[in-house]
Amino acid sequence: MGLLHPTAASLSPEEAGHIGETATVRGVVVSTEYEPNERSQPTLLTAYLNAIFTAVIYALDRQKFGTPEIAPRGKRICVTGQISDYRRSRRSS
């Protein structure tokens, strides 16, 4: 997968302290968005369990997931990746 982004308007001090770490999160996908016109052609999976987070699947990995903008909606996922601040690093890495 790519990066994990907490998607709250502002990060709590605890959340901010985990930026750059690798983590595994689980949640139910509540929305998906494929952005083919962006540089890295990301597919964004937004999921919710105890907090909202966005997992990013970059173009190079899309074929591993079939149609990731459609298939996982409403399903529980488990994602491992590096935590980053979505607002500051949108579409980076």
**C-alpha Rg value of the chain to the nearest Å:** 12
Joined tokens for residue 58: 């970059």
pLDDT tens for 32-66 read 888 888 888 888 888 776 667 888 888 888 888 88
pLDDT at 79 over 50: yes
CA distance to 42, 61, 65, per residue, from 3 (Å): 10, 12, 16
Q: What is the dihedral of CA 24, 67, 73, 20, to 10 degrees?
A: 30
Print the domain residue range for 50. Answer: 3-89
Domain count, the chain: 1
Residue 89 — very low, low, confident or very high, per pLDDT cuts 50/70/90?
A: very low
CATH number for the domain that contains residue 56: 2.40.50
- Indicate the average pLDDT of the chain: 76
| pTM (2 d.p.) | 0.69
pLDDT, greater one: 93 or 89: 89
Residue 18 — very low, low, confident or very high, per pLDDT cuts 50/70/90?
A: confident
